[in-house]
Structure formats: C-alpha cells, structure tokens
Amino acid sequence: MSQATLGIRAISGHAGSVPGAGVERGLEVCKLIDTTTCIGCKACEVACLEWNGLTFSETTFDNSYQTMPETSWNYWNLIKFNEHEREDGSMALLMRKDQCMHCEEPGCLAACPADGAIVQYVNGIVDFQQDHCIGCGYCITGCPFNIPKFSPTARKVFKCTLCNDRVTQGLEPACIKSCPTGCLHFGSKTDMKDLADKRAAQLREHSGFANAGVYDPPGVGGTHVIYVLHDSTNPEAYGGLPKNPTIPLTVQLWKTPLKWLGNLAIIGGLIGVFAHYLRFGPKIVEEDENGKQGARQ
C-alpha cells in the first residue's frame, strides 16, 4: 500500500504529535445530499459496491424498498426509505442516503484506543486503517450515526472512506459520480454550504416547504456530508437522523477527564515508587532462620 499523500489532522489513540495538523493548508471536501431530488434509484449504492469491490451480501425484504435495515461492514452506502405522514394526513416517501458523515469532531476517533486505527485527514475525511484496528468496537459506541460496522470475518471495523483513494487523485467519490438526478454534489465545504443554503431557500420560497433547511449538525462540529431536508426541524423522520448528534457522554467522560485522572494515577504511582526508593533505599530482606542473608532485591 502506498504512503499517505493526504495530510493527517487527527490520529486515534496517539500520544505524540500529529504530522499535518495545523501545518498544512488543505481544502476541506464535502458531500451534499439533496434529499428533495433523490428518487431512490440506488445507483450510489451499486457504485459504492463496485468501486470498493465489496463482497456480496444478502438483502432483506421488509415491506420497504430499502435494501437492508442498516448499513453493514460490506455495505457502506444505503438509501433509507421512510414513509412519513404529513400534518395534513398525506403521505411522503422520504429517501435519505445513509453513510458515514465524516464529522469534524469524530466520535469514533475519540473513542478509538488503537494508535492510528482511525485518522482524520486535513481535508476532513475520517478513515479507518484496518491494519491498525484491534477490533474492539469502541468506535461503534462513539458514533452518533450508527455507522462503523464490525466484520466477523476480518474481526475489524469498516465504514465509508469517502473514496479517499479517488479524492486524493482529484476524482469525486463513486456515489457522487453515479447519481443520475444530480441530488448528490461534491466540492469544497464552503461551496457545498452555499449550494445547500440556496437550495433550501428555494424550497422555502418557491416550493412550499416552510421548514426546509440544511443539516450540518454543530454537535459534532459540523459534518463533511451535509443534507438538504424538506423539514429540517424533524430529521428523525429521515430514517433516524439524530436531531442534535453529539459524541456519547460516556465516551466524552472516559476519553477526557477519566483518561487524565488515570494517567495522573499511573504517573503519580511511578513517582511515588521512585521517591520511596530514593528516601528509603532498596528493600533488604531480613535474615531467615538458617542465618542466610536474603538476596538483595
């Protein structure tokens, strides 16, 4: 495998400095998903499978057009079909492309204890490095979007890579390229934000969606996959998109105060042992009954 050509902004479970963090100028990339023009054709699902060479997986029929209940370790991109009853009693079929959101402050990376198993590149892509992954599954706990999935075969965790192999070479992700209705867009975060805001304003002013808006949740520092929703006040209707996603409290506690308390306890213990050694010297074992002197420890 090749060495990274992308600067790294954050590394999971890493004690030292991070090469690339704050020293490299980089374009932040972003996917824009306009749920209002998605027709649920699943071209993005297939393009993802083809590009990433993912293995065959059984689909589930559950009285819905949805391929399977949720993304899987070898199915990173899933259109979620949701029947939604509007206030006036009419029905709407809401379709949302579900995949890794590539959070600015990734919960998976915060939770991961393995050095270098999860990295965040300067361009915002959060990537799993399976050769450093220890398969503990803590990232699954840390993710507010239920994205990382454990592979029982590889005993590692897998998820969408935002096609970083394509993006580093100046190509768009496979899903974006395939989309026939043009509901998927790819570009810089700034451009995508602008495009999304314009589209949301258009929906509010001309299409009668008074609550149309952009989903770029601040609870995880914003995401590198953003949505335009018909009703941004109710993202849960789009197959469980959390209203205000945050890194779970347990992970936050454990990775910040508890971690440093633990480190203090370890280092304090070591200092204590060393101070004891300096103050009282090595332990001398007293003579036993046979009159032999114990070995110096």
Note the residues at the interface with another protein (CB under 8 A): 1-6, 8, 11, 13-16, 18-19, 41-43, 45-47, 49-51, 53, 115-116, 119, 121, 127, 129, 131, 161, 164-166, 168-169, 171, 174, 177-180, 182, 266, 270, 274, 277-278, 281
As given in the structure block, the two tokens for residue 156 are: 């590692």
Query: At closest approach, how far in Å is the CB of 216 from another protein?
Result: 25
How many Cα atoms within 13 Å fall on the side-chain side of residue 65?
A: 14
CB closer to another protein, 115 vs 197: 115
Residue 277: CB minimum distance to another protein, A: 8
Least Cβ distance, residue 13 to another protein (angstroms): 8
Residue 106 token pair: 């990734």
Tokens for 243, please give them. Answer: 């209203």
Shortest CB 274 distance to another protein, Å: 7
Nearer to another protein, 91 or 278 (CB): 278
C-alpha–C-alpha distance, residues 76 and 259, integer Å: 32
Task: Select 49 or 108, whichever has its Cβ closest to another protein.
Answer: 49
Task: Give the residue from 187, 159, 186 showing the smallest Cα distance to 175.
Answer: 186
Q: Which is nearer to another protein, 35 or 232 (CB)?
A: 35
Q: In this structure, how many other beta carbons lie within 10 angstroms of the beta carbon of residue 271? A: 10
Residue closer to another protein (CB basis): 30 or 179: 179
d(CA 52, CA 77): 11
The string of DSSP codes covering 116-176 is TSEEEETTS-EEE-TTT-----HHHHH-TT---EEETTTTEEE---TTHHHHTTTPPPHHH
Q: What is the Cα–Cα distance from 246 to 224, expressed in whole angstroms?
A: 15
Output the smallest distance, CB 66 to another protein, in A. Answer: 14
CA distance 184 to 222: 18
CB of 6 to another protein, least distance (A): 7
Q: Which is nearer to another protein, 95 or 200 (CB)?
A: 95
Beta-bridge mates of residue 79:
97
Residues 58, 79: Cα–Cα separation, whole Å: 16
- Residue 7 CB, shortest distance to another protein, in Å, is 10
Question: Toward another protein, which CB reaches closer, 50 or 83?
Answer: 50
Of residues 64, 92, 39, the one with CA closest to residue 230: 92
